[in-house]
Every structure is written in C-alpha cells, then in structure tokens.
Amino acid sequence: MTRRKAHYAGDYEARARAVREAAYANPSTICWRCGKTLPEHGPTRTGKQQHWQAGHLIDGDPTSPLLPEASSCNAAAGVARLNRRRSTGYSWPP
C-alpha cells in the first residue's frame, strides 16, 4: 500500500473533481493564478494540450481551498515552490 501525500488525503479527490468539472463546463473559466482561459494558454512547450487542474489557493497547505488552474500554471508553481525549498537546504526526498 502506498502512502498518500497530505494534499491528496480526505475528501481531496471529490473536491478536485468538482472544481475540474465546473471549469470544463464553463468555457469562460479563468485560471486563478494567471487570469487566462484554457484556450488562451495554448499548448505546452512539449505540444501537449493544457488541461484544468484543481490548484491549492495557498501552496503547500492541504486544507486550502481549491480553484481551477491551468496545468502549466500549476506545474510552474510546484517547481517554483520546490526550488525555493531547495535554496534553503531542503532535500528530496525528506
């Protein structure tokens, strides 16, 4: 059995699914991080289509509200957070 990260524990899956479904149902949904719609993002640098994810309003806080976030914005925020942690002596895995 694998251990789940705190960000994905409890009712996360249901909350995240609801955020993603609502975002896909409304074409005018904007990414909370950058303010763009999904089509405005265009494909990723590798040519993959963007998709909606449920991003934490407060990065690193598993109890934070979830909002629609473009996949590239969510990934960039995760990388930036990890880089900040590494610059302070954090190593992966803990």
Q: For the domain that residue 27 is a member of, what is the CATH number?
A: 3.40.1800
Q: Give the pLDDT confidence score for residue 1 in this predicted structure.
A: 40
Cβ–Cβ under 8 Å, residues 71 and 49:
no
**Residue 93, in any domain of the structure:** no
Residues in the chain: 94
Q: Give the pLDDT confidence score for residue 9 in this predicted structure.
A: 67
Q: Give the pLDDT confidence score for residue 80 in this predicted structure.
A: 84
Cβ–Cβ under 8 Å, residues 41 and 63:
no
End-to-end CA distance of the chain: 19
**CA angle at residue 65 from 61 to 71, to 5 degrees?**
85
Domain carrying residue 39:
6-87
Cβ–Cβ under 8 Å, residues 54 and 15:
yes
**Residue 94, in any domain of the structure:** no
**Residue 92, in any domain of the structure:** no
Q: Give the pLDDT confidence score for residue 60 in this predicted structure.
A: 79
What's the predicted TM-score (pTM) here? 0.77
Q: Give the pLDDT confidence score for residue 8 in this predicted structure.
A: 67
**Residue 1, in any domain of the structure:** no
- Counting the structural domains of the chain, the total is 1
pLDDT < 50 stretches in the chain: 1-3
